[in-house]
Structure 1
Amino acid sequence: MEPFFDPSQTQESHVYKDKAIENWVRGDDTSSLIQQIISLQQLNQNDARKRLANQLEISKVNEDYEFVLDVDVKKKNGRPLFQTHEKTIHAAEWLTTNFKRTDIVLLQIDGIRARKEASVYTRLSHHDNIVRTFGFVLDGSRHHFQNSIMLLQEYASLGSLYELLQERSIHFDEKILLAIFLQIIDAMIYLTLNNVVHGDLACRNILVFHFDATNPKNTLVKLSDFGFSQYNQFDSFTPDFAQPTSNVIPTRYAAPEIFLSNNATNAYSEKSGTYSMGVLMWKAYSRGTIPWSNISNDQDVIQHVINGNVLSRPSNCSEQYWVIILQAWSLLPSNRPTFEQLKQLLINQTELGGISFVFKLKCSIS
């Protein structure tokens, strides 16, 4: 039997040598010993091993650089399209000619979760309704910043769904909204199959690439912003990977169990996602109205949600779809549909109403 060099022991008393940890860091997060997900958080290790794992992860990202700033792509002049403390989006353009001339942006992510958020983008970039990430971009001027990552992504010229809903000149027929909902749900099914919880499903995080107010088949939206996302049963090398990018819960979209849990991030699940999907649907029907806009204090909103109160039905929401939204808002997660079930509920009603959608659906595991 091969001896264990530099063994590390988990809380379940399984022993792993450093080579196994290295293999896990490099992409195999399943223990060859017990065929279960292993977590660095559960390893009884010293600081040196944690630094080793972190360095290995950094080197793995460094190996993945596919583009170089000012060689393959460059930032366009002007102010960023979007900017927060931890995220900046710049309009960009190709400098090389061997790529299709897709409109692009540069997404710069800063902070302790930068590498993990970036890995979610790159891992889940192969679905029609998730924003496409072309790869990592090496920025020589910032290469020494350990917690800074730059990604090259496709550009949504129509902005977010929230912005589109603000355009009062556009009429949103219910069948158009349903087409949008089904595309978002399909993206969420894909995340679920890949053991990822988004954590911040909202209209502002849905990008619009094509929109046709008369034909739902010509409308295309994509899910973005994985800053709050986390892997189910999968921890990071950094102690607070499961924590959102900031300690802010999207209160007016969040499910009641998020507020009731001592550790909110542990309460996020597919079912908390379907609750948020219900709020997103309500907001789309309501043309971007803030949920619980009649209540200014977020603590009062939290109490309403915990008590099982729900938003009022928008006048343009048909009864059969309102019933489905109410199911998504069930107080108990076990009473809510999964995303797959939610999709089928909507499809069943669209078929009864004679509405037909044709999408290229991708719901396989990446």
Structure 2
Amino acid sequence: MSEPLLLFAYVTFLAVFGSSSTPSEARAFFVFGDSLVDSGNNNYLATTARADNIPYGIDSPSHRPTGRFSNGRNIADVMSEQLGGEPTLPYLSPELRGEKLLVGANFASAGVGILDDTGIQFANVIRISKQLQYFEEYQEKLSALVGRSQARKIVSHGLVMITLGGNDFVNNYYLIPLSLRSRQFSLPDFVRYLIFEYRKVLVRLYELGARLILVTGTGPLGCVPAELALRRSLSGECDPELQRAADMFNMLLFDVVRELNLEIDYVSFIAANAFNMHMNYITNPQVYGFITSKVACCGQGLFNGVGLCTAVSKLCEDRDEYAFWDAFHPTERACRIIVREILSGSEEYMHPMNLSTILARDGTV
């Protein structure tokens, strides 16, 4: 790229995102993980883990399916909105080129987990190791646009969000009775193994230049409509075994975040206790304006938790009244509750500090 064009690209970046001394600026945003944050990468893959059919996206600006497992925006989209930026494009989207690279990229893929054998039933998905490879590839493209030095600054000043873990339980360890992993590990040993592998992923993100990394724990897996239906919880009570698994995972993940920050002698990693955040509105849905936290808005069977959300599924009229959109995923309104806690929640939800606090800190560095 010639110097005038490179300078133009950088000046445009500053005009859109502001200088690095402004605490409230919109940063480049990089998203990794599974269907909770996938913005449409799986649309470009030959996989069964897709959300490109109606009524997905019914409340999106276009009112059409976008590849998000939501009635509208997902957690990553709401985060972009709250930080003052536009939603990050899927990395596989042909639109992610030129100045769009300055916004960041979404590498997430529905169906993946921490382990490569998680989600194999979905065929072609972007394993987390491949997502990290794409992040390296993205940085090469960014370097070609603004130069290697400035690309490193954009990445180091950006925000990384990673959401993994849930599929390793529901689509691996507990997928079938006596799964390979459940025969290989007791639950406590499996959780420790997951955390050991997750730590490698987080370290690799740091090695690739990320310096502000938001790690979300897994939500209350035993309370999603799919599990209520699968385990025939006629009373609507959450499955205690899956709840125990999620709780153990989150506790150890907090420990890893604490250890990593101590090792680098700086707070680069912050952890969100998604379990506690979700349980607030699952336990007291009416307090949060929901009429139910048991029945999915879109689906069929018990709790609308059987099978996929499709055009022939039973669909609720008002999505804002439901905590769950489909058998596994929250509605846009529930996502907004989660993001609010990530931004300003207490130590019960965020460790060692919430996102607003760390962004304000970095704005003065």
Q: TM-score if structure 2 supplies the norm length?
A: 0.24
Which protein, 1 or 2, shows the higher relative CO under an 8 Å CA cutoff with sep ≥ 6? 2
More helix by share: 2
Question: Which is higher, the Rg of structure 1 or of structure 2?
Answer: 1
More strand by share: 1
